[in-house]
A and B are shown apart, each in its own frame.
Chain A
Amino acid sequence: MTISIILVILLPIFLATGLIIKSQPILSTNEFSSLLFSSEWKPLSGKFGLLTFIVSSLWVTFLSILIAAPICLLTAIYLTQYARRYLLRAMHPVIDILAGIPSVIYGVWGILVIVPFISNYLGPALGKETSGYTVLAGALVLAVMIIPFILNIMIEVLKTIPDALKEAALSLGATQWQTVKRVILKKAFPGLLSAVSLGISRAFGETIAVLMVVGNVTRIPSGVFEPGYPLPALIANNYGEMLSIPMYDSALMLSALVLFAVVLLFNLASRMAIARYEKLQ
């Protein structure tokens, strides 16, 4: 038992050191900031600027949060404040199944539904010519994928708001929506924010589903109807040739390290916020 628990605690440290050691070669010949903020990606001539991929990742992630967060918030409020109990109970399996669907299935769905929708309907309607394999497609698929995570936490957060608070507001003549807006959301704000931030970290690291629909063109996307090439897709696409080009593996491990660091940071911040929030209750 003791051995197992030590193993579990050491696992993140192992993860970090393994990736750091592997990305050491490229860090010793190039400056860290020049790797992060250069968009020159020419592995054959030894140029490994990650900026294109980082920007793509940010695009896809924030767009997906922009779609998912309002939907989750409205649904969570509806299920906890307005709807009858059975609806909340009925939604649990829906959330669980959405969370359990493998990312490759989301990818297939994206190719089947989202990509044609964008290239045949949405693109032409907005006067854009596009293949459908775009940042927007990635963001839409990703949004559906992170909805169950965000929604679950938001429901838990909203459930902890004491009824007395609500009743006090209602007794002062506020409508239910005013109560929600002025009392409940204010009280739950830190918890809701950390739910979103957990969603961000989940979205940032998602690989296969995004890879399948986002287009993978090495160019900084200039709009949502442009293809992108996020970090995880870069790692997954190039694992085959990474040992045949010098420094390539090191560059990919560095991208994994960047991914790990960003995700850990967001997780750390939101988990700490949630823990503090729970203590306050």
Chain B
Amino acid sequence: MAKFKNIEEKIFIALMRLSTGIIVFALLLIVFSIIYKGLPSLSWEMLTQTPKGGFYFGKEGGILNAIIGSLYLSAGATLVAFVIGFPVALFMNVYLIKYKRFVQMVRFFLDLLWGVPSIVYGAFGFTLMIFFGMKTSLLAGIVTVSLFIIPIMVRAMDEVIKTVPIGLLEASYSLGATRSEAAYKIVLRQCFPGIITAILLSFGRAIGDAAAVLFTTGYTDHIPTSLGQPSATLPLSIFFQLGSPIAEVQNRAYASAVVLTIIILIISILSRYFSKRYEKHRINF
């Protein structure tokens, strides 16, 4: 019996090591297979040109329209989400600090919203668009994606702002600061790196999402010059190019996937850096 329990332990430890290994292996496999397949087709021309005639049959051109479109879209959506989301996060943690139950409820709502799939936001954005009589455009995409990332941004900021010690707020009140002053001057400064991390996280979500923009942003070969125009986005450009039967176009899809992966990795590294700084610079009580 004593032997059996030791054998059992050994078997399970092996299994546990195996599954941890599988997860690390999966990540490496994803990154390397994308880079291995996409890097050879990646060229300067691809990054700096818009699609020329016959691009989708393997002729000249690049995916600049999608890169710029994606950056416009995610920057716009992140900005809108920040303008709406940041006050919510502050409000929850500065003004409503006494109403624990209410704050708990808001958090619960946000968590629920976080779980809603982006395609549902896409469908909803589409109905909104038709309701207002709009066409597929950058604006419609920005609105839809910002709805989709607001819960992510608010919850991420909330987690950071939650950690601000109440003593810090009380100290600023005792010096005659109003609540808004405390919120915008003290809390913002204390949490600045954490808030940047939250913004980067939302930006990453926005730039990687395809399902919500599928309905609302449309697709075009041109770089949009106004909010009313449709816009190409990177995920969709990967998706469409991969659907082509022509090998060269497919290879471009892999190259575009490399571009998107690199953008996401940079965002990830930046947000790691800022959250490290956050640990270093905050005032502790």
Question: Hey, what's the 0/1 contact readout for B30-44 against A, CB within 8 Å counting as 1?
Answer: 100110010000000
- Give chain B interface residues in 130-158, CB to chain A under 8 Å: 147, 150-151, 154
Partner of B267, one of A100, A105, A109, A112: A100
Q: Are A12 and B112 in contact (CB under 8 A)?
A: yes
Q: Which residues of B contact A104 (CB under 8 A)?
A: 208, 210, 235-236, 238-239, 257, 260
Choose the segment among B6-14, B55-63, B162-170, B185-193 that binds chain A (4+ C-beta atoms closer than 8 Å). B6-14
Partner of B235, one of A1, A8, A102: A102
A133 interface residue per 8 A CB criterion = no
- Give chain A interface residues in 213-260, CB to chain B under 8 Å: 232, 235-236, 239, 252-253, 256, 259-260
Q: Are A1 and B91 in contact (CB under 8 A)?
A: yes
Q: Which residues of B contact A101 (CB under 8 A)?
A: 30, 208, 261, 264
Choose the segment among B17-25, B46-54, B220-228, B277-285 that binds chain A (4+ C-beta atoms closer than 8 Å). B17-25
Q: Are A208 and B239 in contact (CB under 8 A)?
A: yes
Choose the segment among A28-36, A45-53, A121-129, A172-180 that binds chain B (4+ C-beta atoms closer than 8 Å). A172-180
Q: Are A1 and B112 in contact (CB under 8 A)?
A: no
Partner of B124, one of A19, A97, A263: A19
How many of chain B's residues have a CB under 8 angstroms from any CB in A? Answer: 79
| Given the contacts A4-B91, A239-B214, A105 and B257 also touching, CB distance less than 8 Å | yes
Q: How far is the CB of B89 from chain A (nearest CB, A)?
A: 9
| Given the contacts A104-B239, A105-B260, A9 and B109 also touching, CB distance less than 8 Å | yes
Q: Are A4 and B85 in contact (CB under 8 A)?
A: yes
Across the interface, name the chain B residue whose C-beta is closest to A272.
Answer: B108
Q: Are B235 and A147 in contact (CB under 8 A)?
A: no
Q: Are A263 and B120 in contact (CB under 8 A)?
A: yes
- Give chain B interface residues in 91-144, CB to chain A under 8 Å: 91-92, 95, 104, 106, 108-113, 115-124, 126-128
| Given the contacts A1-B87, A101-B261, A177 and B124 also touching, CB distance less than 8 Å | no
How many Å lie between the Cα of A93 and that of B264 in the bound state?
13
Q: How far is the CB of A220 from chain B (nearest CB, A)?
A: 22
Q: Are B9 and A176 in contact (CB under 8 A)?
A: yes
A56 interface residue per 8 A CB criterion = no
Q: Are B5 and A78 in contact (CB under 8 A)?
A: no
Q: Which residues of A contact B9 (CB under 8 A)?
A: 175-178
Q: Are A5 and B88 in contact (CB under 8 A)?
A: yes
Q: Which residues of B contact A198 (CB under 8 A)?
A: 115
Across the interface, name the chain A residue whose C-beta is closest to B28.
Answer: A94
A275 interface residue per 8 A CB criterion = yes
Q: Which residues of A contact B27 (CB under 8 A)?
A: 94, 97-98
Q: Which residues of A contact B110 (CB under 8 A)?
A: 8
How many Å lie between the Cα of A109 and that of B25 in the bound state?
13
- Give chain A interface residues in 68-96, CB to chain B under 8 Å: 70-72, 74-75, 77-79, 82-83, 87, 91, 93-96
Q: Which residues of A contact B128 (CB under 8 A)?
A: 18
The 6 A-B pairs of least Cβ separation, nearest first, read: A205-B117, A102-B208, A78-B16, A256-B123, A177-B9, A104-B235
Known: A208-B211, A235-B123, A239-B215. 13 other contacts (CB 8 A): A5-B91, A8-B110, A70-B19, A91-B20, A98-B27, A102-B207, A105-B30, A151-B23, A204-B117, A256-B119, A259-B120, A268-B112, A271-B112
